[in-house]
Chains A and B, each alone.
Chain A
Amino acid sequence: MTFPKGKLVAIMGLSGCGKTTLLRHIGGALKPTKGYVKMDGQVMHDLDRQGLYAMRRKMGMLFQFGALFTDMSVYDNVAFQMREHTDLSEDLIHSLVMMKLHAVGLRGAQDMMPSELSGGMARRVALARTVALDPMLIMYDEPFAGLDPISLTVIGDLIRRLNDALGATSIIVTHDIQESLKIVDYVYFMAGGVIRAEGTPDELRASKNDFVRQFVHGEMDGPVPFHYPGADYHQDLNLRT
């Protein structure tokens, strides 16, 4: 798998197929048993803790439900990395936080606590926090999960615009095929820990691949069976065949 600079790439697949595990490998949270992840010329699992942390400063990750720090306000959440990793003055941090919050449309919510935010707002604050230090790689773990249709469009649009504005590379792990095909440049389909298909959104919409067709059109049965493998049905019902 390659994620070219400036591109927005989606990784799709069924639950449990290894999408989030892949993100964890890219972030250096897991060591691969086979293969490697190379970012900016460095093999992630070869790095020591210091090297890994240096690399992570160039990354941002949006967690599935935002993972905002619940004991901090919206403002402090966005300012967190700036305070931890830079020597910027509070005045400058204030300006930067305002710019990030403005970009996600939540400048007015700076004093709110995470518990006061709706799911969509929390996701947008988390997005502002993710791009706080202008990362070169942004990872999104199920950014559309549990959002209403308006929030879903807003988040999708923000992901695209932020990627282009920052000149970053973005990786989206998602189930939401319709929303993601609108915004991404390239898609990888995974199943059972391997890539089953790949292509641009237009190629995938026109694909004859059974797996892709089932996924894109949301068909119940196909290469991914409806029934989980089990004993013979008649046998389970104690019927003689």
Chain B
Amino acid sequence: MAVQSTIRAIGHQIVNTVWRIGVAARFFFLTLLYSGNSFRRFHLIIKELFSSGVMSLIIIIVAGLFVGMVLGLQGYETLKRYGSESALGVMVALGLVRELGPVMAALLFASRAGSAMTAEIGLMKATEQISAMEMMAVNPIARIVAPRFWAGVISMPLLAALFSAVGIFGGYLVGVVQIGVDEGSFWSQMQAAVDFREDIMNGAIKSLVFGVVVTVIALFEGFDAPPTAEGVSGATTRTVVTSSLAILMLDFVLTAIMFRGA
């Protein structure tokens, strides 16, 4: 009996997960379908860009600076063994632009802006604001979800780019200013080695994909949250956990596609 109920529970969990993925996919499709209104009334997106993008600036800048400084320190220690300290700029820039910038910015975005989106929409649902909107013949996906989705998609690559830029500056502070690596070789080797299409564009594509994934997960979890205190808190946790795992898994897939053999 115990085996039977365990199998049943696993089966139920799998069916439930597949069902939720299907509902989330439908939700994503509807968000795209009803996005026209958001672009016609761009001020709705601007407002959300402020709360998801501008309000994330501090965490992105501070985290970017420290990650860059750590990269500078660790990179110098490793490169010194091979007498290649002058390549520190290349290492810091490639590490940030290709990987750490998009991934770290997306993780921070998921925990700051993503969780806020989920909690906000979940609470709107719990306080019947979404039902009220429906009863006023206003489509909540068009009015609430779509502007937030596009704000997330637009702000994510910009935040990732900022993270990388500040990180490079952090690497410069530690490598050149503190340790004394030659400034000319730090910048010139970086300029020669970092390719716009291969590195910067691929990094931007990564962050764009992460932006879509994180924002959809955050919005769906909020919209699907049970209208109770536990429901909203559970949805907020799920947003951070699911987004973080999705970012890391997708990063591997995208890296394998973009940089294999490069």
Contact = CB atoms under 8 A, between A and B. Distances in A.
A27 B135 contact: yes
Contacts of B136: 56-57, 80-81, 84
Interface stretch (A33-41, A63-71, A154-162, A180-188): A63-71
Contact of A56 (B123, B128, B137): B137
Interface string B130-147: 011111111100010000
A27 B123 CA distance: 22
B132 A61 contact: yes
A85 interface: yes
Interface in A110-137: none
A29 B136 CA distance: 12
Contacts of B84: none
B129 interface: yes
A3 interface: no
B255 interface: no
A57 B123 CA distance: 25
B128 A65 contact: yes
A156 to B, nearest CB: 21
Contacts of B139: 53
Interface in A44-99: 52-54, 56-57, 59, 61, 63-65, 67-70, 80-81, 84-85
A54 B137 contact: yes
Nearest to A53: B137
A69 B137 CA distance: 15
| Contact residues on B (Cβ < 8 Å of other chain), bracket | 10 to 19
Contacts of A53: 137, 139
Q: How large is the interface on A (under 10, 10 to 19, 20 to 34, 35 or more residues)?
A: 20 to 34
A56 B132 CA distance: 11
Given A56-B136, A57-B137, A85-B137, A65 B127 contact: yes
Nearest to A52: B137
A61 B143 CA distance: 19
A61 B135 contact: yes
Nearest to B41: A83
Interface string A183-200: 000000000000000000
Contact of B128 (A52, A54, A63): A63
B131 A64 contact: no
Contacts of A64: 128
Interface in B85-105: none
A67 B137 contact: no
A64 B129 CA distance: 11
A69 B47 CA distance: 15
A56 B129 contact: no
B121 to A, nearest CB: 11
Interface string B57-81: 0000000000000000000000000
B148 to A, nearest CB: 12
Contacts of B131: 29, 63, 67
Interface centre among A52, A56, A61, A67 (most CB of B within 10 A): A67
Contacts of A85: 137-138
A29 B138 contact: no
Nearest to B132: A67
A57 B139 CA distance: 12
Contacts of A69: 124, 129, 132-133
Q: Which 5 A-B pairs have the closest CB atoms?
A: A53-B137, A67-B132, A67-B128, A56-B137, A61-B135
Interface of A: 27, 29, 52-54, 56-57, 59, 61, 63-65, 67-70, 80-81, 84-85
11 contacts: A29-B135, A54-B137, A59-B135, A61-B135, A63-B132, A67-B131, A69-B129, A69-B132, A70-B129, A80-B136, A81-B138
Given A61-B135, A67-B128, 20 more contacts: A27-B135, A52-B137, A53-B137, A54-B137, A56-B135, A56-B137, A57-B136, A59-B135, A63-B131, A65-B127, A65-B128, A69-B129, A70-B123, A70-B124, A70-B129, A81-B138, A84-B136, A84-B137, A84-B138, A84-B143
